[in-house]
Structure 1
Amino acid sequence: MTDTGFSPDRIDTGKPHSARMYDWFLDGKDHYVVDAEAAGRVLELFPGVKDTAWANREFMHRAARFVARRGVDQFLDVGTGIPTEPNLHQVVQAVTPSARVVYVDNDPIVLRHAEALLRGRPEGRTAYLHADVREPERIVEYAREHLDLGRPVGLSLIALLPFVTDEQDPRRVVRTLLEPLPSGSFLTLSHVGTEFDPEVWERITAVYRSGGTQVQARSHAEIGRFFEGLDLCDPGVVPATRWHPEPGMRVIGGQPVYAGVARKP
Structure 2
Amino acid sequence: MAVTIHPSAIVDPKAILEDGVSIGAFSIVGPNVHIGARTQVGPHCMIDGHTRIGEDNVFYRFCSIGGMPQDKKYANEPTRLEIGDRNMVREYVTFNTGTVQDVGVTRLGSDNWVMAYVHVAHDCQIGNQAILANGVQMGGHVHIGDWAIIGGLAAIHQFGKVGAHAMVGGSSAVHKDVPPYVMASGNPCIPVGINVEGLKRRGFSSEEVSALRDAYKIIYRRGLSIVEAREQLVQRLTDEPAVANAIQRLVQFLDASDRGIIRS
TM-score by length of 1: 0.22
Larger Rg, first or second structure (1 or 2): 2
Higher helix share goes to which structure?
1
Higher strand share goes to which structure?
2
Higher RCO (C-alpha under 8 Å, 6+ residues apart):
1
TM-score by length of 2: 0.22
